């Protein structure tokens, strides 16, 4: 009877497929990643119970009604589109992008209209933004107990 000697070979791991998979994942993440340059706005949030301080410097004031309509420095805009607000900002500022912009939104205005106004301000190139709220007539009457 013949006995064959079994020689045990050491198990080895082939790293080539692993390196290929890692390389493909790296390429996938590089291709699918987006690099955006975010526009930064400095936002001054309103404080509760803060009173408005009269300011003699020139500023742009955007008032947002409960219906989502914009008015810029007391002039009502024809619609609530971002492009209309951007054009109004360009005309009112006369190219001065250092003017402070104040958004005064009705307390019952939608978040979408406020975000749209902030988007228009950012796209127009303004960097100084303050946000305030005003009570609507209906909620002011409820607060007073009428």
Nearest Cα neighbor of 139 from 113, 105, 115 is 105
Q: Categorise residue 17: left if φ over 0, alpha if ψ from -120 to 50, beta otherwise.
A: alpha
pLDDT tens digits along 76-118: 888 878 888 888 888 888 888 888 889 988 888 888 888 888 8
> Could you state, in order of their start, the residue ranges of all structural domains in the chain?
42-144
Nearest Cα neighbor of 63 from 85, 95, 40 is 85
Between residues 35 and 1, the one the model is more confident about: 35
The CATH-assigned architecture of domain 42-144 is 2-Layer Sandwich (3.30)
Please tell me the distance from the alpha carbon of residue 14 to that of residue 84, in angstroms, as a whole number.
63
Give the predicted TM-score (pTM) of the model: 0.55
Please report where in the chains the tokens 């408005």 appear, as a residue: 52
């Amino acid at each position: 009877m013949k006995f064959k000697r079994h020689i045990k070979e050491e198990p080895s791991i082939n790293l080539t497929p692993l390196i290929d998979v890692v390389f493909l994942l790296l390429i996938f993440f590089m291709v699918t990643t987006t690099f955006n340059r975010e526009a930064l706005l400095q936002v001054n949030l309103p404080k509760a119970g803060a009173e408005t301080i009269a300011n003699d410097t020139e500023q742009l004031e955007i008032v947002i009604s409960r219906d989502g309509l914009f008015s810029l420095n007391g002039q009502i805009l024809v619609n609530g589109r971002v492009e209309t607000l951007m054009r109004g900002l360009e005309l009112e500022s006369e190219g001065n992008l250092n003017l402070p912009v104040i958004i005064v939104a009705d307390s019952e205005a939608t978040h979408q209209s406020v975000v749209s106004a902030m988007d228009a301000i950012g796209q127009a190139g303004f960097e100084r933004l303050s946000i305030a709220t005003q009570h609507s007539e209906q909620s002011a009457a409820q607060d007073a107990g009428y």
